[in-house]
Amino acid sequence: MILLVLSVVLLVALRIFFFWRFQYWEKLQIPYLRPYCPFGCLPNPLINKEKGGIILKRLYRNVRDKGWKHAGIFVFVTPVYLPTNLDYIKNILTKDFEHFDDRGLYYNEKDDPLSGHLINLGGPKGVTMRKKLNSLFTPSSLKMMFQTLNTSIEDLLQQIHSRNTIDIHKLFTCFTIHVIASCTLGLECNIFKEEHLLFESYANKFLVWSRGKWCLQLLAAMYIDTARKLKVRTVPKETEDFFVKIVTKNIKYREENDYFRQDMMQFFIEQKNANTMSINEIIAQCFIFFIAAYETSTTTLTFALYELAQNLDIQDRVRREITSVLLKHQKYSYEAIAEMKYLNQIVDETMRKYPPFLYVVRRCTKDYTIPGEDVTIKKGIFALISILGIHHDEEIYPNPQKFDPDRFSKENKKMRHPYAYLPFGEGPRICIGTAVGKIVTISFKITL
């Protein structure tokens, strides 16, 4: 009898708790999507197999269909702000960035060292790290990567000519790993000759998501202090051990043999010797540069060639442009790529239809009053921006499922809101390696 009474009391208490939490946005007089106990606005994560970005796109569409500029949603019982108006999004990402200068992502530099990378770091620590790394991605630095890129392309052509049948996805993976391992890790290797692609294996241990992993990441982000006390890991130990070994052996070899190469790894060695970056910070940045470039480049290449195979008129047009530009320059160069306007449009349209990142996360770091509205977003509230929702919004991109590179002609771009295209985010925390991934993608397509 006592157990029954306690159960009833617990259920009533939970009901009251959920009812109280689900009134959050109503009290602020912000329109909100109706939540359901206990998952809020999310489908049941135990049975739903959709990615978070797909779910968020659907929520974005619901808000847009209601004619709202923004809305409140709930992730379980946690209130989350969902802006859909592009001016509101611009304010959060750029104009009023000081109120949203943190992604609010979980990291634990002590127990999960590789999680302490630029993407996860927030606040002053993230700003400081970004300032240190900005010099790696200047136009002059990108030009220096071309020698590495050209060597990789030569190896790629040998592979293509030596085979009758090509597994295109595997070829993409090999090429991307070859380029990124050399540019970010400073490794002189021919990944095409490796029987077992160790880089791919250990990268995928981190990249492949399960429902359990998604829920863990979500809860760790919402309850960061608790997750740190529990020593939650986001990077598998095997992946950490692999990258620690690769980077430390590389640094040791260069220092012991007085080996110098003007690349990213040399920059990190100089930072280490100047005591401006620890070895763990260096490994974490090498890790995320490799992971981010590998994942985005491979994915974009795959979808771009798929669309070219489906649209032969686009394929013929870009082939003519590439041939014309290369004849003019007499060689493949950084400057030649800049002149290939239509090829760049194809890459942009690929990342519009298949964005490498499906959403942007920001956490409010100080109370923020929405311009033009008597509404304040409180410190600690997460803001989610649906990149996939914006890119597939037919009010912004008519017939969004059609692959149309002319959407990104100079004239058409001027007609759109500048924040209608966000494949890598925008503002002070835009993905720092955007240019590298785009160059790798374009280089591969020129080769083919």
Phi, psi angle pair for 194, to nearest 5°: -75, 130
Residues 85-98 have a mean pLDDT of 96
pLDDT tens digits, one per residue of 153-171: 777 777 777 777 777 777 7
Ramachandran area for residue 189 (φ above 0: left; ψ -120 to 50: alpha; else beta): beta
Residue 289: the pLDDT is 84
Interatomic CA distance for residues 444 and 448, integer angstroms = 6
Higher pLDDT, 206 or 307: 307
Residue ranges for the known binding site are 431
- At residue 190 the predicted structure's pLDDT band, cuts being 50, 70 and 90, is low
Residues 278-295 have a mean pLDDT of 88
Residue 195: the pLDDT is 42
- The DSSP bridge partners found for residue 36 are 40
Report the candidate in 202, 36, 200, 28 with the shortest Cα–Cα distance to residue 114.
Answer: 202
- The DSSP bridge partners found for residue 352 are none
Percent over 90 (pLDDT), the chain: 47
Residue 186: the pLDDT is 74
Interatomic CA distance for residues 36 and 182, integer angstroms = 49
Q: Is 421 helix (H, G, I), strand (E, B) or coil?
A: coil
Residue 257 host element (H or E): none
pLDDT of residue 347 exceeding 80, the answer is yes
Higher pLDDT, 161 or 235: 235
Most confident of the ranges 9-18, 42-51, 344-353? 344-353
Per DSSP, which regions of 295-416 are E strands? 359-363, 368-369, 376-377, 382-386
pLDDT of residue 239 exceeding 80, the answer is yes
Residues 227-232 have a mean pLDDT of 90
Residue 59 host element (H or E): helix 52-65
Residues 220-229 have a mean pLDDT of 86
CATH topology for 1-9+52-447 is: Cytochrome p450 (1.10.630)
Interatomic CA distance for residues 297 and 350, integer angstroms = 11
**Lowest-confidence pick of 139-153, 362-376, 411-425:** 139-153
Copy the structure tokens of residue 274. 């100047």
pLDDT tens digits, one per residue of 75-89: 989 999 999 999 999
Residue ranges for the known binding site for heme are 431
Residue by residue, what is the 3-state secondary structure of 119-184?
CCCCHHHHHHHHHHHHHHHCHHHHHHCHHHHHHHHHHHHHHHHCCCCCCHHHHHHHHHHHHHHHHH
Residues 314-328 have a mean pLDDT of 92
- At residue 428 the predicted structure's pLDDT band, cuts being 50, 70 and 90, is confident
Copy the structure tokens of residue 367. 């109370």
pLDDT of residue 22 exceeding 50, the answer is yes
Average pLDDT of the chain is 86
- The DSSP bridge partners found for residue 362 are 383
Residue 103 host element (H or E): none
